[in-house]
Each structure stands twice: as C-alpha cells, then as structure tokens.
Structure 1
Amino acid sequence: MAQRIDVKDLNIFYSDFLAVEDVSMAIEPKSVTAFIGPSGCGKSTFLRTLNRMHEVIPGARVEGTVAMEGVDLYGDDVDPVAVRRQVGMVFQRPNPFPTMSIEENVLAGVRLVNKKISKSDAADLVEESLRHANLWEEVKDRLAKPGSGLSGGQQQRLCIARAIAVRPQVLLMDEPCSALDPISTLAIEDLITELKQDYTICIVTHNMQQAARVSDRTGFFNIAGTGKPGKLIEMDDTGVMFSSPSEQATEDYISGRFG
C-alpha cells in the first residue's frame, strides 16, 4: 500500500511569487518523514504540493516533478482528485463535518467515490478505519452521535479514520497535534508509529521533540528573509539531524537559537 515519493527540482509559486525554491528529496515508503523549520518557510506549502492541494488556491502552480512510484503526479493525464484519494491529508485543527455523525464522517470520502457501498460493507469499513485510528473502543456505542461532540484528540483521530477509509497510500499531516493537549498528542504520536507499518507518512511539526520521537527522516526548511523563497536546507536520518546536522543553521534551529 505505501508508496515512495520522489521530488525533483520543485519550485512552488503563488502567481508570480516564488514561495519555495528548488526542493529535491526522496520520501521512503512505510516511514515517517518530518518537516521542521521556522514559520513562513514553506513547510506546509510544500506538504500541500504532495497531493495537489496547493493548486486549489487561485494562481498557485508548481514547476518540477513530484513522482509516486515513478508516475508524475502533475502529469497532463493525471486526475488531481485521484491523487488526493491516494494521498490523504490531516489538517492542523480537527475538522469533522459538524452535521454528520461519527459513522457518516468516516464514510464521507468513500461515499464521494462509491455511492453504492452496501450497508454491511460500510459498517465493516467504519469499524476497520476506527480501529486503525485507535478510536473504535471509545466510540463504538455512539456511532450515530455527531462527530463534533468528541474531544479534540478524538476528533483528530476521527479525521485520521476518515482519511484512511478511502485506502490512500500516503498520509500527510500538517501540525496534527498543535491544537491538542499532551495526552491527546501522545495518542496521535503512538498512532503515527502504528500507521507507518502500512503508510508513507509526512508530518509538518514545530515541535522538535515530536519530530525526534516519531520520524525516521527529517527535512529542515528555512527562509533567508521576508519575501525570499523557502528552501530545503538539509535532510537526513532523524538521529543524524538532531545529533550532528551538516549545516549550522539546522543546529541553531534545533537547539533553539532562532525560530
């Protein structure tokens, strides 16, 4: 299920403004890749290019290549909706659909592409997805209740269940714990560690300890100043990045001297 992503010479634009410049990297399957760096350096912008969410913004575009198992996701014959099914996304703040029940939230994406799913298949998928999100035991007796009635940490795990219900190959997470308390954060981190057995996971985080705990590889993004493009400064195994990075700017950021 998990897929490798190769990014080569990627430039990301908002109209004529170059937001992120010349990124090349390999994202390995069945692993967690963390992106760290100061605010405004393009981490989240880069993350959104991996499932073509970036181009939803008017005037936004990319140059370069984002290939999944050798297939360019920006090829002329590639459907961006199909890309977003293969590359799921979990956002910074939990966003369950407020008028939908827990069960309906899990099935929301599936019903968009498969309106004919049977009741029994739907029930099985809901349970499977909630189990994978470590939420089933907490909500199995109230599946018909609104998803918005859950706690913040439960809502975020519900959003993860919704993302994996469509059986993607890659999961993108944009600061998934920034709005959560420490106990909920730990639950999400434990879940990420479990999910990497089946998925390729990319996570943007401002929490250095979180990046060190959950990721296998870490990429450090930085920006030279206001109006300048963000750049990938270096990327390596997480243990190397946090113990002996190659660039002084990386060491300064990780040690808290700036950012």
Structure 2
Amino acid sequence: MSQRIDVENLNVYYGGFLAVEDVNMTIEPRSVTAFIGPSGCGKSTFLRTLNRMHEVIAGARVTGSIRLDGHDLYGKGVDPVAVRAKIGMVFQRPNPFPTMSIRENVLAGVKLNNRKISKSDADELVETSLKGANLWNEVKDRLDKPGGDLSGGQQQRLCIARSIAVKPEVILMDEPCSALDPISTLAVEDLINELKEDYTVVIVTHNMHQASRISDKTAFFNIAGTGKPGKLIEYGDTREIFSRPKEQATEDYILGRFG
C-alpha cells in the first residue's frame, strides 16, 4: 500500500456553517505533513475529516472526496470505524485510559475492533507497539501498572503505541506536543521522524520551529475573519514554504506578524 491521501474539492460543514472551504491536496505516503495557521482557521477540523472523526459532532458533513490509495473514505457503505482503524488519531492532550494498565491501553483499540487475539500474540503486539513508540525500555517492567501513572510525555507515547497496535496506514496528530515539556516534546518529535518510515503522518502544530524541523510538506491555512471559512492558502515542500513562500500571508504568519 502506498498510503497516499488525495483530497478533492473538500468542504466541511457544521449544520449550515461552512467551516473549511474547497481544500485540494495530495498527502504523500510515508512522509510527515504539517498543518499550520492561526487558531480557528480549520486545521484541526480538516485533520478530523481525514478519518471521519468530525462526524462525532451532530450536523457535521462534508462535500467533495477524500481517497486513501484510491478508495473513497466517504463512499457509500464505508464504515467510519473501519476508516479510523486505517487512519489513527493522537490528540492534543494525552488520553490513556487512566484505570487501565499500560498493557491494556496498548490493546484497547484492537479489542474495540473486536479482533480476537491470543495471549502470546497480544504479548508480542504490546512489545512491538511500545518499541515502535520508543516506550518499551521505560515501561517493560511495569506493564500491569495504570497508564495514568506515567508522565505526560510517556502518556502521549503510550497513545501513539495504542494507535500503532491497530496497524494503521496513516497516523493523524492534533498538536501532540502542546501539553508537553521541551524534553518530552523532543522525544515525540524524534518518534515522528521514525514513524514516517512505516506510516503517513499528518500533524497540526502551532509551533513553527516544530513544523520546520519534522515535516516534509507544510500546508498553511488561514481565515478571512470571524464567521468565514478556513482555507488552504499554500502547500508545498517545508523548506520552500519556510524560506520562499509564494503568498504574503504565509510569510507574515511564519514571521509572527499575525496569528
């Protein structure tokens, strides 16, 4: 599988309100794509349409298409739960199940998808997922301790391990480092760089340095004013976006003139 996402003429609505207007982009496989832009410009809303998470809000709908390797994620009869198994999500605040053990947290998504798994396969999956999230060595001797006992940075990596365990093709991250200290942030950034060897990674971030450090492509979203829809202003190689943006608004935002 190439794990490529093609977005065509995408509009996102909440009831009668147009939240994001006419997005067209191709998210390259096995790369890191960063969404940047001021608060309220639709970055997180658009991110959530990529695995149909926005649908948990009543009245949310989209027009246009999103295809993963040519398969329409909004096609007739497509199960949103199956979409979310292929396209995992890591949220802004670490959200392990606090009363579940570290081991149970890793396996939670697998069990949610009703996958039957033997104890030996479960043990192996827990180890490979935690190793994939660079957490195994820190927790291997306390897998039965509550996930809520871990530090914030460890909890976020546990959530990433939980995503990996379902064997997705794409991992979405909505400001995954905004609640973390600098050392934990660095650990998650290093992990994101490793994850792109196996997954397509899409991240929303307000940290310009982070976007320039870890992403291959950057998409700048903006909004004309309160009540207006968010729009994709510019999308390209991160180096180009940060050194030679084509749009004045992109340059103004990156240089901190607004937002």
Q: TM-score range by the shorter chain?
A: over 0.9
**Alpha-carbon distance between aligned partners in 1 of 2:256 and 2:113, rounded to the nearest angstrom:** 45
**Residue 111 of structure 1: CA displacement?**
1.1
TM-score, with structure 2 as normaliser:
0.99
**Alpha-carbon distance between aligned partners in 2 of 1:63 and 1:116, rounded to the nearest angstrom:** 36
In structure 2, the residue matched to 1:160 is 160
In structure 1, the residue matched to 2:147 is 147
Q: Is the Cα–Cα contact under 8 Å of residues 2 and 198 in structure 1 kept in the other structure?
A: no
Q: What are the within-5 Å matches in structure 2 for residues 193-204 of structure 1?
A: 193-204=193-204
What is the SS of the residue equivalent to 1:164? helix
1:186-233 CA-partner distances (Å, limit 9, x unpaired) = 000000000000000000000000000000000000000000000000
Q: What are the within-5 Å matches in structure 2 for residues 182-193 of structure 1?
A: 182-193=182-193
Q: Which amino acid aligns with 2:53?
A: M
**Any runs of at least 4 consecutive aligned residues in structure 1 with deviations exceeding 4 A, and if so which?**
none
In structure 2, the residue matched to 1:53 is 53
What is the SS of the residue equivalent to 2:251? helix
In structure 1, the residue matched to 2:116 is 116
The answer for unaligned runs of 5 or more in structure 2 is none
Q: Which amino acid aligns with 1:73?
A: L
**Residue 99 of structure 1: CA displacement?**
1.2
Task: Calculate percent identity across the aligned residue pairs.
Answer: 78
What is the SS of the residue equivalent to 1:241? helix
Please say which of residues 3-12 and 105-114 is displaced more in the overlay: 105-114
**Residue 56 of structure 1: CA displacement?**
1.2
Please say which of residues 2-11 and 236-245 is displaced more in the overlay: 2-11
**Residue 77 of structure 1: CA displacement?**
2.0
Q: What are the within-5 Å matches in structure 2 for residues 56-71 of structure 1?
A: 56-71=56-71
Q: What are the within-5 Å matches in structure 2 for residues 115-134 of structure 1?
A: 115-134=115-134
Is the counterpart of residue 224 in structure 1 residue 224 in structure 2?
yes
In structure 1, the residue matched to 2:179 is 179
What is the SS of the residue equivalent to 2:202? strand
Q: Is the Cα–Cα contact under 8 Å of residues 34 and 202 in structure 1 kept in the other structure?
A: yes
Is the counterpart of residue 32 in structure 1 residue 32 in structure 2?
yes
Q: Is the Cα–Cα contact under 8 Å of residues 10 and 23 in structure 1 kept in the other structure?
A: yes
**Alpha-carbon distance between aligned partners in 2 of 1:251 and 1:64, rounded to the nearest angstrom:** 29
What is the SS of the residue equivalent to 1:18? strand
Q: Is the Cα–Cα contact under 8 Å of residues 132 and 161 in structure 2 kept in the other structure?
A: yes
What is the SS of the residue equivalent to 1:142? coil
Q: Is the Cα–Cα contact under 8 Å of residues 9 and 23 in structure 1 kept in the other structure?
A: yes
**Residue 22 of structure 1: CA displacement?**
0.3
What is the SS of the residue equivalent to 1:222? strand
In structure 2, the residue matched to 1:82 is 82
Q: Which amino acid aligns with 2:220?
A: F
Q: RMSD between aligned alpha carbons?
A: 0.7
Q: Which amino acid aligns with 2:121?
A: D
**Alpha-carbon distance between aligned partners in 2 of 1:165 and 1:245, rounded to the nearest angstrom:** 38
In structure 2, the residue matched to 1:138 is 138
In structure 2, the residue matched to 1:8 is 8
**Residue 114 of structure 1: CA displacement?**
3.7
Q: Is the Cα–Cα contact under 8 Å of residues 2 and 199 in structure 1 kept in the other structure?
A: no
Q: Which amino acid aligns with 1:75?
A: G
**Residue 2 of structure 1: CA displacement?**
5.2
**Alpha-carbon distance between aligned partners in 2 of 1:164 and 1:192, rounded to the nearest angstrom:** 12
In structure 2, the residue matched to 1:92 is 92
**Alpha-carbon distance between aligned partners in 2 of 1:164 and 1:2, rounded to the nearest angstrom:** 17
In structure 2, the residue matched to 1:246 is 246
Q: Is the Cα–Cα contact under 8 Å of residues 2 and 170 in structure 1 kept in the other structure?
A: no
**Alpha-carbon distance between aligned partners in 2 of 1:14 and 1:115, rounded to the nearest angstrom:** 33
The answer for unaligned runs of 5 or more in structure 1 is none
**Residue 10 of structure 1: CA displacement?**
0.2
Q: Is the Cα–Cα contact under 8 Å of residues 8 and 64 in structure 1 kept in the other structure?
A: yes
**Residue 124 of structure 1: CA displacement?**
0.3
What is the SS of the residue equivalent to 2:25? strand
**Alpha-carbon distance between aligned partners in 1 of 2:82 and 2:113, rounded to the nearest angstrom:** 10
**Alpha-carbon distance between aligned partners in 2 of 1:171 and 1:85, rounded to the nearest angstrom:** 10
Q: Is the Cα–Cα contact under 8 Å of residues 2 and 69 in structure 2 kept in the other structure?
A: no
